[in-house]
Amino acid sequence: MKINACIPFAIIAFITSLPLTAFAHEEVAAQPACKEIVVFTAKKIHTMNPGRPMAKAVATCNGRIVALGDSLEALKDWTTKIPTTFDKRFDAKVIYPGFIDAHQHPLLGAMTATLPAIAALNTAQAYGPDIQGVKSEAEAFDRMRQYEAAEKDPDKPVLIWGWDVPAMGRHLTREDLDKISSTRPVLVWDASQHHGYVNSALIAQRKIPKDLAIVGVGRNVAGELNGQFLGVPAASYVLLPILASKLQPAEAMRLMRWLVDLNRRNGITTTTDHSMGIFSTDAEPALLSAMFNNPKTPQRMVAIADMRSFVAKHGSTEKALEVVRALQKKNTDRLMFRGIKFFTDDSFNGLTFKPGAPGYIDGTAGQWITPPEKLLAAIEPWWRDGQQIFVHSIGAEAQDVTIATLRELQNKSPRADHRFTFEHVGMARYDQIRAMKALGANANVNLYYIWLRGESYAKSFGSDRAEDLSPVGSLVREGVPTTFHSDYPVAPPKPLLGITLGMTRTGQSGAKTLGVNQTLTLSQALRMVTVDAAYVLGIDDKVGSIEPGKLADFTVLDKDPHDVKPAEIKNIHVWGTVVGGQVYPSSDIAKPQ
């Protein structure tokens, strides 16, 4: 062995004297012996691995991918030596890596989407047709009166979801909801899930003090509570006590199964919980484990802890870190506790995010969830611990704050491959996108913003900024690793719809392309729900592409998106999914009895 003369001999002697077991932690754990291979054949297999982009057969064993080939003959080194089953049910189908929704909320999303609804847009449902959106304020109020009349218990609060501030042009007030009921508590949760509105009966029942000191609590000119609780802290104050019953194990499991089935119907094999702990830092991890560590659940979960909830529960950042680390030691291939979630500005749909200069046309300023001067101190301990950081950051003013924070973190404690991720990214200037690239950041964009609000937001902050929402084209061109998500029920968890919208960028009318220079190619959009989504979440060693050694998760389509027009991709039927080598036809999805 040739020894480098520049290395002190004492160090070489020390290293070479170490037993081999000293390096055992670096070895790859042995996989269970493969006793039987299952080979899936298909019309096409798009691997999303540029080095080997296509195949027609994939061999799996023990829930993982063993080999790929253009034919069965190409797999004979395996199939002639190990007993093999050939599954040809996909011979007329097209296989992709399992789709990933990189920002969801399994409890919060299902809770809201299964409540009595007054949303302006249709709300996707797991079983049966979508709930149709309301077309006017009058229709929303008619529905609210119907929901109140249907509740026979006079003391039970009526909780309604979906008031749409941009569509309706205003926030609800106490007086509005007093017209729904002057005696029964009524609470309306807005479409963004960031605002709550209550009537006088609820204020009285809860004995809400007039001088409640929470940012976002609204008051009228006389200083009385006006029924508006705007922003996450204020809305949580009125909502969480009513939602507590949803965390009972049986109800929580029912809700999560509901969203698992909705995701599965749309080809999603990996989902996320982007604010784990907002209801209970103790109950939620246990509930997630019961659902997603169950081998019968056809979906994986990446659970990202909500910083505010864990610090509030445990009294200090240091203790919260210990608890989050302990959860991460329990990671499995089915349930992966990863990273920590922070917030800057407030709501996109609720028009309380921070757009930056020149602001909103009506002069309102938006709202911070975390004051800018407190963000760095909140994130720094987690950054130093090596945690992946995810920051809810919607408007251009919020991007300035988040960029400045990341820059300071890198200056003080440089990290490589940190995968710091900007969440939602409703607006971003070109200089901000280039700064994100320079700092090594990721973007997890709500691509649906342009479809949801691109045509209606011109009256709020001008047609140019409204059309340039969700700047995925610029992010990809600048080389920022980018994925997109639904944040259901903000948008439906339909990756194929997202791909269509990424390529066409049409609004609700479908009349024109909004932000033509922000469109995506098909390849770029497909990457965002497969390999790039996995990268942004930090799980690309497990899923996202079809390669030997990775988990055998696939989405099976009746048609290939490459063979239809962009506008038709959203209509491709999802035949089903494969998770860990187990096949789950979408035709088997049925409402539990």
Cα gap 285→331, rounded to integer Å: 11
- Residue 349, pLDDT score: 87
Q: Looking at the predicted structure, is the pLDDT value of residue 7 above 80?
A: no
- Residue 568, pLDDT score: 98
- Residue 257, pLDDT score: 97
DSSP structural state of residue 106: H
Say if CB 421 and CB 389 are below 8 A apart.
yes
Say if CB 292 and CB 335 are below 8 A apart.
yes
Q: Looking at the predicted structure, is the pLDDT value of residue 26 above 60?
A: no
Q: How distant, in Å, are the alpha carbons of 162, 201, 216, 359, 430 from that of 171?
A: 12, 19, 12, 19, 32
Q: What is the pLDDT of residues 372-381, one digit of tens each?
A: 999 999 999 9
- Residue 1, pLDDT score: 33
- Residue 555 burial (C-beta neighbours within 10 Å; 0-12, 13-18, 19+): buried
- Residue 460, pLDDT score: 94
Q: What is the pLDDT of residues 429-461, one digit of tens each?
A: 999 999 999 999 999 999 999 999 899 999 999
Instruction: Please report the domains of the chain, with CATH numbers, ordered by start residue.
Output: 106-244 (3.10.310.70), 247-543 (3.20.20.140)
Q: Looking at the predicted structure, is the pLDDT value of residue 297 above 90?
A: yes
Say if CB 424 and CB 487 are below 8 A apart.
yes
The pTM (predicted TM-score) of the whole model is 0.91
DSSP per-residue codes, 9-68? HHHHHHHHHS-GGGGGGGSPPPPPP---EEEEEEEEEE---TTS-EEEEEEEETTEEEEE
Q: Which of 353, 425, 415 is nearest to 391 (CA)?
A: 425
Half-sphere exposure of 75 (CA within 13 A, CB side): 26
- Residue 63, pLDDT score: 98
Strand 99-100 versus strand 158-163 pairing type: unpaired
Q: Which residues of 286-320 are buried (b: 16+ CB within 10 A; e: fewer)?
A: ebbbebbeeeebbbbbbbbbbbbbbbeebeebeeb
- Residue 29, pLDDT score: 52
DSSP per-residue codes, 132-151? PPP-SHHHHHHHHHHHHHH-
- CA-based radius of gyration for the chain: 25
Cα gap 508→455, rounded to integer Å: 7
Say if CB 425 and CB 394 are below 8 A apart.
yes
Cα gap 399→534, rounded to integer Å: 23
Cα gap 317→305, rounded to integer Å: 13
DSSP structural state of residue 91: E
Cα gap 467→507, rounded to integer Å: 9
Distance spanning both ends of the chain, measured CA to CA: 70
Say if CB 306 and CB 272 are below 8 A apart.
no
- Residue 242, pLDDT score: 85
